[in-house]
Amino acid sequence: MLCFENDYSEGAHEKVLKRLIETNMEQLPGYGTDRYSESAKEKIRAACGCPDADIYFLTGGTQTNQTVISSILDSHEGVVAAETGHIAAHEAGAIEWTGHKVLTLPQEDGKISAGDLETYLNTFYKDANHEHMVFPGMVYISHPTEYGTLYTKGELAELSAVCSEYHIPLYLDGARLGYALAAKETDVTLKDVAEYCDVFYIGGTKAGALCGEAVVFTKADTPLYFVTKVKQRGALLAKGRLTGVQFDALFTDGLYLEIGKNAIDTADELKRILRENGYEFYIDSPTNQIFVVLENTQMEKLREQVVFSFWEKKDDTHTVVRFATSWATKMEDVKKLAELLSRGRNILSGIGKNSPDDKALCNK
């Protein structure tokens, strides 16, 4: 069975695992005060070009969004996000659970525009009734977005400028940031992210770690007593070393970017083959998530040999599916998938012909 279901199917990258093994029996203090956490923070500060940044390690993406957002917002405030933003749609109401509304903007390819944001903020403050409404207290974007798309440096700069004008922080969800940074068609570096965002997180869970996300407050303006707030939200690991050691490994010798590169290379190869075979792309993603339209019969057959994600129904006979690559994806598996997709394509064109080969595939 081939697996292109997501980018968190394997455990940890071997270099990450190696460091966990090497440090396993060291006696270290808890709650993120160990030397590996400190070392990881220093390396991340350097990689971000933010020598003064405050850095904290949390365990997962939803937890990080929930903790950061609810620690920054005042109680009368909500967070602005694309209507397709992860916090708006797929985190089980984790933000509302903390008392805050997600204020949604229209999106294009998963992205919000500075223009729409400016209009929203301007309209809000001009509304005579705005004191009866939820104040926009910060802006959330994801990079890559939930559709694998990327903001350009210019777009980030514009969003950042609007946020500055309205004195609200810009927060970037980098659950898959490694795959954004390694994309071929991007002009955004980690330093750019750090420059334009007030706070963001570097995703570990989907990029080589067993678990872990690194939150970066680029302007060293962490909410007061953030550690207590993390604890209060159930997000403080006793063995902080678990995330500290992993991020220390990820930010040693450029491993985090190297990890991203494998995902991009394998995704690009898969896209090349799909394009050659005439597949329709649902969206043009430059990162590790590929959204393709499959004919339903073919999709069902493919399921017998490949694990992938249902995305949405396109029409009565077609479905949008997602193939994801990762740091762990092997090029040979991409080739096997390519072959299946290519054969599937032929089978479908030949439906009704009952060739013995088709049977063979079906019976597998």
List binders of its own copies among 224-243 (CB under 8 A).
Answer: 224-225, 227-229, 231-239, 241-242
Tokens representing residue 225 in the block: 């007593």
Nearer to its own copies, 70 or 285 (CB): 70
Considering the complex, what minimum distance in angstroms separates the CB of residue 211 from its own copies? 6
Nearer to its own copies, 100 or 151 (CB): 100
For its own copies, the binding residues in 109-148 under the rule CB under 8 A are: 128-129, 131-135
Q: Which residue has the tokens 């083959």?
A: 273
Considering the complex, what minimum distance in angstroms separates the CB of residue 160 from its own copies? 23
Please give the size of the binding site for its own copies, defined by CB under 8 A.
78
For its own copies, the binding residues in 250-269 under the rule CB under 8 A are: none
For its own copies, the binding residues in 84-103 under the rule CB under 8 A are: 89-94, 96-102
**Residue from the set 60, 118, 295, 342 that interacts with its own copies by CB under 8 A:** 60
Report the C-alpha gap between 269 and 287 in whole angstroms.
12
- Edge-to-edge order in the sheet of strand 280-281: 280-281, 289-295, 318-324, 309-315
Nearer to its own copies, 173 or 192 (CB): 173
Contact window for its own copies (CB under 8 A) among 58-66, 113-121, 165-173, 278-286? 58-66
For its own copies, the binding residues in 143-182 under the rule CB under 8 A are: none
Interaction of residue 59 with its own copies, rule CB under 8 A = yes
Nearer to its own copies, 28 or 293 (CB): 28
Contacts of residues 235-239 at CB distance under 8 Å and 24 or more positions apart, as own/partner, are 235/58, 235/59, 235/63, 235/64, 235/66, 235/67, 236/31, 236/32, 237/31, 237/32, 237/57, 237/59, 238/30, 238/31, 239/30
Considering the complex, what minimum distance in angstroms separates the CB of residue 246 from its own copies? 10
Beta bridge partners of 58: 213
**Residue from the set 37, 63, 142, 145 that interacts with its own copies by CB under 8 A:** 63
Q: Which residue has the tokens 């707030």?
A: 229
Nearer to its own copies, 17 or 293 (CB): 17
Report the C-alpha gap between 66 and 73 in whole angstroms.
11
Considering the complex, what minimum distance in angstroms separates the CB of residue 240 from its own copies? 10
For its own copies, the binding residues in 323-352 under the rule CB under 8 A are: 328
Report the C-alpha gap between 191 and 156 in whole angstroms.
12
* Bridging pattern class, strands 289-295 and 199-203: unpaired
Interaction of residue 360 with its own copies, rule CB under 8 A = no
* Bridging pattern class, strands 170-174 and 135-142: parallel
Report the C-alpha gap between 168 and 162 in whole angstroms.
9
